[in-house]
Structure 1
């Protein structure tokens, strides 16, 4: 007995029923077949323009995602809904980019319009931001770089496409390599050769991410830059702009670095510029936005080769050296740049990543521990302890950074230093 997959409905039906009869649901039931080949398995999500299902392709024997739009949609009139769906299929099928979810097939089955896409199971950016906490800086940077690449590819289309609905729920995480991919071109608009689809009295977009000019039905490429800026603000602070204003009880939007102390202040004007009210004052492209942001972060990184270790520190019998190392993930031993954990070759210089960095090998000697009894009095700010009590570690290769903080050490006058004094000496 099939049951409606919509968690808000879940009505049971006799065997052989293919669709929910609830007028506010109308979901396809499990085992229903669309287009003669796509068998419904489960519901992935519902949206204003239709539903997305996980289906089995009985021809290719693979699992794919199927987006279905019913012709009797309650959201808009039938002609407009059909035109939007066909436009989504046509444009998305033309766009071929690693950060854009491709359309594999599309068609019509009775009163159902459908398009087939690869099944992306890595989740959405919206799910990562549910906790209202900022993402790790490097992760947020990579997602913005991927998003910028996709937006620029959309804007470079000959029909001058605007996505118009850049938001976390439309940004998926690819399960293979963790890259961010953009989907849902159901409200994308070509500025030339085709009539606008915005109905009188309302604009297309999602609240909180929509640009001011788009809200008045005058979307342009800069509108996507605005939405990207809101997404960037949310990734780096964990909050939407309106949430930041309310929670900080401020009269104006707080700067990102004021909400996330790990951010350098140099990124503030870059993110805020993307959300300028005047479209002309925003970044000229998504790529320019991401590049400016990455440059600001790069300038803030401390290079380990510039660090000089004090040679006058002498370890005593109870000396402990605290090490804080900023280590890139899966670093390349040739150029020192960070790569994804699943990568086999460096994406910057092409060098193989099978060889482990010497610094990473040395870090295996670092572990957490705490002293007990009288020893705890000599180690008041101990965090990470280097086994072997070594204070003569050589500076690692660029761009790694290494900092030593120690207690139980003696200075030039042979006076034992501890706590903050030892940290200053180190």
Structure 2
């Protein structure tokens, strides 16, 4: 494949990866100025049976149809062409320059709460868009999320497991089981995915970012709730509650859409600021004088008034004798400044 040209336009220059259903190549679009990069997915399955091959063919043909319906969105790669040539099938997509999130999340390092909220919001924004078209991705995981080099935004890629969601078909025969262990919810593992199945995957990515643990290493408690909070995990109760709801075992207890999850995260994002403001204003509320200082002030003030009253009494007594009246010279000495009189003074 290297150095070959697909459809007389896309020149293969490098292999990007391979899987059970084919290979992915980096190519140059020789029909555009500057020959910009693009991604070529080659359908080359290694099926174990005829039925598996049929499923693989259907999924590969479904991907370009869905991507074409999704039109243009900033956080989803655009389809450029679908080529059938020499009994081979190729899907050509926009190339996202950057790195996938497995390089960030699988290292075991922990994200800050603010970084996790930002990450979740970007993934959910792309998910909200595809849910508006009743589409389930079915394989949201770190390696299918690209950190775009030019702006740092997270782009959702690889729609090879995509499925059109039809509520009326939820009680019919199960669909093909597909997805990745740890990010795949129980109902999807049984062949009955729905829109909230992708929300489960996003929630597990958020937990992985906070804890540094791979989702398939986490345990469930007796109520089938994911056990992930401990003393080493720094997270607010508000964000923890959102993540817990995103990864509920029963899908009807989760957020039913990405829009609902985004609204919940929006509230969490504003709550820490209110807490900080409350903490900063606390010293002003408690900045009353200490009880020791108030007692001293009370004692000084009361002593002053007692001496003043005694002096006035003696002066009146001397004047009333009438033997040798004296001229009383007014005292021009400034009066002491009176201390604040507190309730007990």
TM-score (norm 2): 0.71
Q: How many residues align?
A: 276
Please give the alpha-carbon distance, in whole angstroms, between the structure 2 residues aligned to 1:269 and 1:99: 26
Partner of 2:90: 114
Contact 2:77 2:95 in 1 (8 A): no
Please give the alpha-carbon distance, in whole angstroms, between the structure 2 residues aligned to 1:183 and 1:90: 15
Partner of 2:69: 94
Partner of 1:267: 239
Partner of 1:307: 280
Please give the alpha-carbon distance, in whole angstroms, between the structure 1 residues aligned to 2:166 and 2:282: 62
CA shift in 2, pair 1:193/1:79, >3 Å:
farther
Instruction: Map Cα deviations across residues 59-97 of structure 1 (whole Å, 9 max, x no partner).
Output: 122211111112665586433322211110111122121
Q: Does 1:123 find its partner at 2:99?
A: yes
Partner of 2:293: none
Contact 2:211 2:228 in 1 (8 A): no
Contact 2:14 2:26 in 1 (8 A): yes
TM-score (norm 1): 0.58
CA shift in 2, pair 1:194/1:121, >3 Å:
farther
Q: Mean Cα displacement is larger for which, 184-193 or 106-115?
A: 184-193
Partner of 1:162: 136
Q: Secondary structure of the equivalent of 1:132? A: coil
Question: 1:49 Cα deviation (Å)?
Answer: 2.4
Structure with greater contact order relative to length (CA < 8 Å, sep ≥ 6): 2
Instruction: Map Cα deviations across residues 293-312 of structure 1 (whole Å, 9 max, x no partner).
Output: 3422421234458625979x
Question: 1:274 Cα deviation (Å)?
Answer: 0.9
Question: 1:140 Cα deviation (Å)?
Answer: 2.1
Q: Does 1:146 find its partner at 2:122?
A: yes
Question: 1:216 Cα deviation (Å)?
Answer: 0.6
Please give the alpha-carbon distance, in whole angstroms, between the structure 2 residues aligned to 1:200 and 1:170: 25
5+ long unaligned stretches in structure 1: 1-27, 312-426
5+ long unaligned stretches in structure 2: 285-345
Please give the alpha-carbon distance, in whole angstroms, between the structure 1 residues aligned to 2:47 and 2:13: 22
Question: 1:275 Cα deviation (Å)?
Answer: 0.9
CA shift in 2, pair 1:42/1:273, >3 Å:
same
Higher share in helix: 2
Contact 1:70 1:111 in 2 (8 A): no
Question: 1:266 Cα deviation (Å)?
Answer: 2.2
Please give the alpha-carbon distance, in whole angstroms, between the structure 1 residues aligned to 2:189 and 2:79: 28
Please give the alpha-carbon distance, in whole angstroms, between the structure 2 residues aligned to 1:200 and 1:191: 13
**Partner of residue 264 from structure 2, selected from 292, 295, 302:** 292
Partner of 1:70: 44
CA shift in 2, pair 1:73/1:31, >3 Å:
farther
Q: CA RMSD in A?
A: 3.1
Instruction: Map Cα deviations across residues 305-335 of structure 1 (whole Å, 9 max, x no partner).
Output: 8625979xxxxxxxxxxxxxxxxxxxxxxxx
